[in-house]
Amino acid sequence: MEGHWLPSWASLPQPAEPPDRDRSDRTLRQTIRASIGGGRLRLRLSNTFGAAGVDIGAISVGRPAGGRAGVSALEPGTARPVTVAGRSSACIPAGGHLLTDPVDVAVGAGEVLTVSIHLAGGPNRFATGHPASRTTSYLAAGNQVGAAELSGAAPVEHWYVLSGLELWSAPASRAAVLLGDSLTDGRGSTTNGNNRWFDRLLDRLQTDPTTAQVALVNQSAGGNRVLRDGVGPSVLRRVEEVLGLPGVAWLFIFHGVNDIGTAEPDAPVTGELIRAYAGIIDRAHAVGVRVYGATLTPFGGNDDYDDPAGARAAARRVVNDWIRTAGLFDAVSDFDRAVCDPGRPGRLRPAFDAGDHLHLNPAGYQALADAVAPSLFRSARP
């Protein structure tokens, strides 16, 4: 079958927080949303931050009851076994990852899937995960990967171990990788609602035949920064890995507010951030990837980031002016203007504010999605 492997969903591996207790002989069930469809799938499992291996007893993939995110039940009869090198069991090495064998399962664009993993052996501790899943996962005793209903399931608001879904997709399909922080990870969105700004953008792309073959791959994390490690490795440390993902044609950068907000107000972070953007753009262009930028949204009134003298707000304005006018990005989406309060442009519009004057609610995330022109993704040429 003609086509190629393409990332359809991803979760940036981060250190699990807090340090987790033993999870031996447990079934971990998680739901994820594919951004693009395909006829075969394979999964990526990560133990990036583990000091010991994670023993896997069995894996299955199925469809959640009602097609909904964050539910523990499967549609009966949909669970399919997933193997690694032909075996049902495997060990994710300390600091490493695994790629499963392909499974012949047809997946539609925007479809929600359920991945169940039996954690065997012991002790298994979750050192790697994604704390801000905005999706409910479940833990249950024993091996229940094939069960339609989990017995004794306990909810957890994180993703663990699972870091990617790849699909065998049409030859013309391509991926756009999103680099960002908690504003792209979706803090302020609805748990299990899939209403982060990139979810809403995906919905728009899927309605247009000229952009329906575009996968949106979220490589964002709350607390992450461009310049220095935060909650997980910095963008500068992982950009080569991101650019090496199969089928990547575009890089979308909405990132930098944590670099400004966590720096001392008089720190020279503005010039560092601008130079970092320029370097990332050069590296991406060298491998034929177009780079789109988004202006940084306001944080006026936030208890942590808004300093009394306004130095951080001034730094944000300088960075945004550069993003808009330097001409290095292949295109710019003005997220700042999309959600700022017209009467107080250093603050979020109240109707979009999640409550902390930094993060957005679902209406605000819709405004960000609406500020991105779908036409940006109609050509994969650099």
Report the CATH number that the domain containing residue 24 is assigned in CATH: 2.60.120
Q: Total structural domains in the chain?
A: 2
Residues 195 and 83 in one domain: no
Whether 375 has a pLDDT exceeding 60, the answer reads yes
* CA atoms within a 13 Å half-sphere pointing along the CA-CB vector of 360: 30
Give 41: exposed, middle or buried? Use CB within 10 Å, 0-12, 13-18, 19+. Answer: buried
Residues 184 and 138 in one domain: no
Give buried/exposed letters for 16-40 (b at 16+ CB in 10 A, else e): beeeeeebebbbbbbbbbbbbbbeb
CB 72 within 8 A of CB 153: yes
Residues 94 and 195 in one domain: no
- The C-alpha atoms of residue 328 and residue 365 are separated, in whole angstroms, by 25
Residues 178 and 160 in one domain: no
Tell me, yes or no, whether 6 lies in a domain.
no
Q: What pLDDT, in 10s, does the model give residues 287-316? A: 999 999 999 999 999 999 999 999 999 999
Q: Characterize the bridge pairing of strands 80-82 and 154-156.
A: unpaired
Whether 323 has a pLDDT exceeding 80, the answer reads yes
**What pLDDT shows up at residue 232?**
83
Tell me, yes or no, whether 267 lies in a domain.
yes
Tell me, yes or no, whether 74 lies in a domain.
yes
Tell me, yes or no, whether 9 lies in a domain.
no
Percent of the chain whose predicted confidence (pLDDT) is above 90: 90
Whether 17 has a pLDDT exceeding 70, the answer reads no
- The C-alpha atoms of residue 160 and residue 165 are separated, in whole angstroms, by 14
Whether 381 has a pLDDT exceeding 50, the answer reads no
**What pLDDT shows up at residue 382?**
39
Residues 84 and 103 in one domain: yes
Average pLDDT score over residue span 270-280: 97
Q: What interhelical angle do 362-370 and 197-206 show, nearest 10?
A: 50
CATH number at residue 307: 3.40.50.1110
Residues 158 and 184 in one domain: no
Tell me, yes or no, whether 188 lies in a domain.
yes
Whether 376 has a pLDDT exceeding 90, the answer reads yes
- Helical spans, DSSP H, in the chain: 182-185, 197-206, 235-243, 257-262, 269-286, 311-325, 335-339, 362-370
Q: What pLDDT, in 10s, does the model give residues 217-231? A: 999 999 999 999 988
Residue 100's domain comprises: 15-165
Of 108, 133, 165, the last residue of a domain is 165
**Angle (CA) 9 12 16, round 5°:** 125
* CA 186 distance to own-chain centroid: 9
Q: Which segments within 51-193 are labelled E, that is strand?
A: 54-62, 80-82, 90-92, 97-99, 112-119, 128-130, 137-141, 154-156, 159-160, 162-169, 174-180
Which amino acid would we find at residue 346? Answer: G
Tell me, yes or no, whether 77 lies in a domain.
yes
pTM confidence score: 0.95
Tell me, yes or no, whether 296 lies in a domain.
yes
**Angle (CA) 355 358 316, round 5°:** 155
Q: Of residues 378 and 8, which shows the higher confidence score?
A: 8
CB 277 within 8 A of CB 320: no
Residues 135 and 274 in one domain: no
Q: How many helices (H) and strands (E) does the chain have?
A: 8, 21
Q: What pLDDT, in 10s, does the model give residues 164-180? A: 999 999 999 999 999 99
Of 142, 165, 188, the last residue of a domain is 165
**What pLDDT shows up at residue 18?**
57
Whose CA is closest to 197, among 216, 188, 184?
A: 184
Tell me, yes or no, whether 7 lies in a domain.
no
Of 126, 144, 165, the last residue of a domain is 165
- The C-alpha atoms of residue 217 and residue 164 are separated, in whole angstroms, by 9
Q: What pLDDT, in 10s, does the model give residues 94-137? A: 999 999 999 999 999 999 999 999 999 766 677 899 999 999 99
Residues 176 and 118 in one domain: no
Which amino acid would we find at residue 197? Answer: W
Residues 96 and 213 in one domain: no
Whether 74 has a pLDDT exceeding 90, the answer reads yes
Residues 31 and 94 in one domain: yes
Residues 156 and 248 in one domain: no
Average pLDDT, the chain: 94
Residues 194 and 74 in one domain: no
CB 167 within 8 A of CB 111: no
Average pLDDT score over residue span 333-347: 97
